[in-house]
Structures are given as C-alpha cells and as structure tokens.
Amino acid sequence: MSKAIFLSKVEGKPGKVYYPLSLQTLPQPTPQGTELLVRMTAAALNHRDVFLRQHLYPGVTFDVPMGADGVGTVVGAGPGVLNPERWQGKRVILNPGVGWKDSPDGPEDPTGYKIMGGTKFYNKGTLQDYITIEESELEEAPEHLSDAEAAALPLAGLTGWRALVSKAGEKNSSKGAAILITGIGGGVALSTLLFAVARGADVYVTSSSEEKLQKAIELGAKGGVNYKEDGWEKKLLGMLPGGKKNFDAIIDGAGGDSVEKANMDQTGGILSVYGMTVSPVMPFTMTAVLKNIDVRGSTMGSRKEFKDMVEFVKSHKIHPVVSRTVQAELSDVAALDGLFQDMKDSKQKAPVRINSKALGFGSVDIQSNIILLPSKTVIYLIELTTAAFPDSRIVDNSRVMDMDTEMAQHYGPGMSFYLSHINSARERADRKRSQLMVGVLTADSGPWMRIDGISFQQRKSHALTRFLQRYCATLRELYSTNQMLHRKINQLCSDSLQLTRDMTKLNRHMGAFHGVILETCQADTLTRLIESIYEIHGWKFPGGLMLGEHVDLDRETLSRIYTEAAKDVKKEMVTKKAVGLSEKYHVALQRYDQIVHHRSASPFRTECIFARWLGAKKSTHPGMYQFWERLFPVCYNRTVQESSEMF
C-alpha cells in the first residue's frame, strides 16, 4: 500500500478558501510500459502548493496527490524499460513538468505545459510513498546533495536556470556580467543567485529584509540594498565594479514596476521576468523603449534545461538553500500543515522527509533559538529569568530526568558518547548528581526551571545553544555521509544481485551455445568492435554523428546506424596494424545485421558475464574461446581474465 496527501474539498471562494489536507491509503502503483516505480524519500513544498490550497492556481483537483518537488529511489520498472538494471536502486529526482522537450521558445505540446501535483492536468504528485513516472522524466540525484536538498532543487532550480541562462543569455550570465536579482529570499531567486555566482558573474540583490540581504552576500552576492530606503537605486549602481555603469541583466519575479527598474539596465540590456507577485500588469515605459530594453518572459523550463541544470549543480557542487525540514510519516498531517504555514508566512523551501526511520536534525532558526528535531522532540533554548516567567517555579535537581541508554537511543546517533559521563556521575553518590539538559550537556547543579514540562538552567542557556549548534552541524554532516554510504552499498548489493541473476540466466540458456543471452553477448561485443574501429580511425557514424553523440537515439534508429556502420567497414580497416585482427572478424561484422536485434542498450552490460562464461568454456571449446578472447583487448581494453574479475 502507498500513503498519499490530497486536498479535501470545502466550500469557499478563491483566495478565501483554504482546502484542508487529507491522507489516503492507495494500492501501491505498478509501473506500466516505460515507467519506473520510485519510493519517495523526501518532497519539498513551494508557494504553488499554498496557492492550490487557496484555489488561486488553475486546474485545482481533489483526486491527484500534492507536491511537485521530490527525490526517491527506483525500486521497480515497467516491461518497456530496456535497461532496468541501470536504474535499480538509484536515487533520482523528478522533472516537475511535462509537455516541453527542448524548444528554446516554449512548450511544444499543443495542450500546454503541465506541472505535477494537485491539478487535473497531470495526475502525478510527490507527496506519496510511491510514484510511477516515465523513465525519460528522471535524473540521477547529485551525490553531494542530501535528500532534503535534492527534493528542494527541481522546480525552483529549473525556473531560475531558464530565467538566468536561457533568457538572460550566456553572455549576460557568466564571468564579467553584472546581474541584479530583485526580491532575494525566494527559492527561485536564491537558486538564480547560486547559479550566477558559480558561473562567475557579479551578482547584486534587493530586498526589504536586512537578514535576507546578508544571507545573499554570504552565498556570494557582491552587494545588496533595501529597496524601501530612499535613493536605493543610486546606492546600488554605486556598488558596480569599475567600468560598469549599469547592469547587463535584471532577473525579476515581482512584475509591477519591473520595467522602471530597467532604467538600471545598460542600453540593450535584458529584463528576464519569471513571475508577477506584485502585480499582473507591467507597464512598458518610453524610457525602456529608448534604451532598447529587451523584456523576456520566462516560466519553468524544458526537459533539456532541466538536465542541463542538474548537471551544472552536480559539476559545481551547488547546495540549494533549505529553510526547514520535517522528518515524519505522511500520516503526520499536522506536521505538513506546519510547513504549509511556513510557506504562507513567506519562509522558503520546506522539505518533508518521507518514510525515514532514522533520526536527524533539522535546521537552526537563530532568531527564535529553537532547534527542531524532526522526529518528536523540540528542545527550547530560551534566555530565562524569573521575572519573565513569574508563574514558573524552581525545582530540585533530583526532579530533573537523567539521560539513560534508552533515551540515548531515542534521541539519535552519537548520544551514546555521553553515557559514560552519566554512569560515572551516578557512582559519585556522595556528591550532588550531575545533570544533562535533555541528555545533551553535563551541567553543574544550580537553579533549574520547568516550563511546560521541559527543564532549563538559566545560566547555561547561551553555552548550551552554541554547543548544540556545533553538535547539530557535526551530526548533520555525519548523517549525510552515512546516507551516501548507504546508497552506495545498496547500489553495490543491487549490482551484485543483478550480476548473479544474469549468470544464472546465462548458465541456464547457453547449453547449446546459441541461446538468447549468448547471442546478446556476441552482439554486444561486435557492437563494441564497431565503436572501437570508428574511434580508432576518428570516423563519424552514418548520419554524421561522432561516438557518444548517438547514445540518446531510440533503439531502432541506433540499431540501423550500427548495421550501416558495420557494412561500411572494409577488410583492410580490420586487418590494419591499428586494429590488428584477422579477416574472419571482418566476415563477422558483415553478418552483424543477423544479431543486431539481440544487442543490449549498453554494449558494456554483458562484458563481465561473457568473460566468465568464456573462461569456463576455454578447455571444452577452445576455438570459440580463441575467437572471442582476441576481441576483448580491442573492445574493452581488458583481457578476458581482467573482465571476468571486474565484480
């Protein structure tokens, strides 16, 4: 079974209504055709999800799960997936929209672009335990990202990437360019900032919040101003480096008077607009006309742009900004409602960790000094005085709970470090017992206060806050590293299991030397021979494609290209010193069309199992062994023995 979060219908007008969340238990979906089954591990909320609950978003429906952002692990594949082993056990992120392949202008689908989560246009959503989705709509999650960061990436990252790179343009978004990002603090604006900084641009920001401006500078912005201050435009332009009088591009999500901001653009500059949160009307002024300002609308992005964005994040080790995490089952609707409230209050990305049994720490809210443990416990660290809480009472140290082994296991990994301190303290019965504040920090005996059942020591609050912040940061890093190790171990186990299955099939079907799997091994090896010959000679494949440019083609087209390429290989091309094979291999290539339909999606897939099978048949079928053994160094740069020992 699979739990999922839906909206429940209640009466109310758009903007006034706030649809409640409801939990439903559904049968676990079965992948069809070229779909993959993904077990979701984290999902992230966007302002779009709040708008859906307020009926301020088109196509609201009550029978499609909520959520457009998410990350999960592939656990199954439909019968049409050509290479399910490639995906099994992989951690993946979901492309949040469909209907837009690669056009730079906009969606190609005549029915328009469809975003998943809570609408009648696309019947998928990430707030569920399991989801089926087309293989073509997945990307492997960058390994350096935690689940929360990976879940927060897709929608905001894609929107920011298109607004910056595709719309502002390569020249105006790379080294030497001066970029203004207005209204910094939202998920899209922060993603745009991270991308622009990584591309080498000089980035400047505006906001009405000094805290958000400071955060942007910490993330790499060169400077920022509060747009509510008088003369902020002049102050902002004064921050530009020498030789720059105006911005090359402005990235804006507010609309309204955005064109007036274009006065800060250089002549012919770009105004890239990805939203209109201030006003749906944006007057175009004569000043903008005279300056030849180019206003470009931008919404979400294509499948190609999504792939490019993920690859950029991976190569530059970018970490999306996450505001708060909640680690809970989907059945904890109250916790999810709390995240929605954060979004309504204009806080940022709020990932939900789904189905996670391990305990981890959430983010630290410095303003309120509250550390959120996403499982069950909240530790309040507040500067306490008796005057501030006149109804509080001082309690004796003996009333404050000691931390024992059971509590250490409950409150998370790493806590066992402190058990020795507790045990030694208990042995000193003639002294005042040493206490640990909720099992975290050993404290001298002193005046303790209890509020709502939670104990405090007023003299230790500041030290405890700093200690816990350092402890949480260390624990988060350890937890993230452990997650990565677990993923790699799971992938290794999955690969080993698949190899065992393949060997079992090979032994079962190869008795007569002409079984389907043997023919697949032979087809794969000859396919690699074709690729190697073309690579050695630096030739292009039929159709003008270089090696590596053809792999994304559909199977039928690729098989036809391989067949034509095999027929184009002349005998002397095989027997030349660069390849060094005999004429019989040229004969085999001329018969390639008879077995091409047996080839795998990747010719490397059967290398190991074929090598092991050949090794087992070396003494009983020496002629066959010698023929194929000669090809391994040419095709795989390894001997049969080396290939058989790969796993």
Average pLDDT over residues 44-64: 92
Where is average pLDDT lowest: 313-327, 386-400, 460-474?
386-400
User: Does the pLDDT of residue 446 top 60, yes or no?
Assistant: no
Eight-class DSSP state of 166: I
For the stretch 155-191, pLDDT in tens is 999 999 999 999 999 999 999 999 999 989 888 999 9
pLDDT classification of 305: cutoffs 50, 70, 90 = very high
At 386, the amino acid letter reads T
Q: How far apart are the first and last CA of the chain?
A: 35
CA 642, CA 630: separation in Å to the nearest integer? 13
CATH code of 158-299, in short, is 3.40.50.720
CA 182, CA 231: separation in Å to the nearest integer? 16
Instruction: Work out the angle at residue 554's Cα, subtended by the Cα atoms of residues 548 and 556, and round it to the nearest 5 degrees.
Output: 110
* Alpha-carbon dihedral angle through residues 255, 261, 265, 271, given to the nearest 10 degrees: 0
Buried/exposed 619-631: b ≥16 CB within 10 Å, e otherwise:
eeeeeebebbbbb
Strands of the sheet containing 448-451, edge to edge, are 393-395, 448-451, 454-457
CA 46, CA 257: separation in Å to the nearest integer? 25
Considering only CA atoms, which of 378, 353, 366, 310 is closest in space to residue 45?
Answer: 353
* Cut 0.85: pTM above it: no
Considering only CA atoms, which of 586, 566, 568 is closest in space to residue 576?
Answer: 586
For the stretch 234-250, pLDDT in tens is 899 999 988 788 899 99
CB distance 67 to 125 below 8 Å: yes
Q: Count CB atoms within 10 A of the CB of residue 191.
A: 27
CA 435, CA 403: separation in Å to the nearest integer? 8
Eight-class DSSP state of 346: T
Average pLDDT over residues 293-304: 89
- What kind of fold does domain 2-153+320-353 have according to CATH? Quinone Oxidoreductase; Chain A, domain 1 (3.90.180)
DSSP code per residue over 43-96: EEE-HHHHHHHTT-STTB-SSS---SEEEEEEEEE-TT-S-HHHHTT-EEEE-S
Domain residue ranges in the chain: 2-153+320-353, 158-299, 364-467, 510-644
CA 165, CA 272: separation in Å to the nearest integer? 10
For the stretch 320-377, pLDDT in tens is 988 778 777 888 888 888 888 877 776 555 555 554 332 222 332 222 222 222 332 2
Beta bridge partners of 35: 134
User: Does the pLDDT of residue 436 top 80, yes or no?
Assistant: no
CA 371, CA 501: separation in Å to the nearest integer? 47
Mutual orientation of helices 583-590 and 516-537 as an angle, nearest 10°? 110
Considering only CA atoms, which of 455, 474, 491, 556 is closest in space to residue 88?
Answer: 491
- pLDDT over 90 percentage in the chain: 42
Instruction: Enumerate residues 6+ apart whose C-beta is below 8 A from 294.
Output: 268, 269, 270, 271
CA 308, CA 394: separation in Å to the nearest integer? 60
Considering only CA atoms, which of 306, 268, 287, 25 is closest in space to residue 154?
Answer: 306
CA 250, CA 259: separation in Å to the nearest integer? 10
At 217, the amino acid letter reads I
For the stretch 552-594, pLDDT in tens is 678 888 899 999 999 999 888 888 877 889 889 999 999 999 8
CA 370, CA 362: separation in Å to the nearest integer? 10
Report which of residues 629 and 456 the model is more confident about: 629
> What pLDDT score does 406 carry?
40
State whether the Cα torsion 456-462-465-471 is positive or negative. negative
If you count DSSP H runs as helices and E runs as strands, how many of each does the chain have, helices first?
Answer: 22, 25
CB distance 494 to 89 below 8 Å: yes
CB distance 118 to 66 below 8 Å: yes
Place of tokens 């997936």: 81
pLDDT classification of 605: cutoffs 50, 70, 90 = confident
Eight-class DSSP state of 164: I
CA 195, CA 314: separation in Å to the nearest integer? 12
State whether the Cα torsion 472-474-476-479 is positive or negative. negative
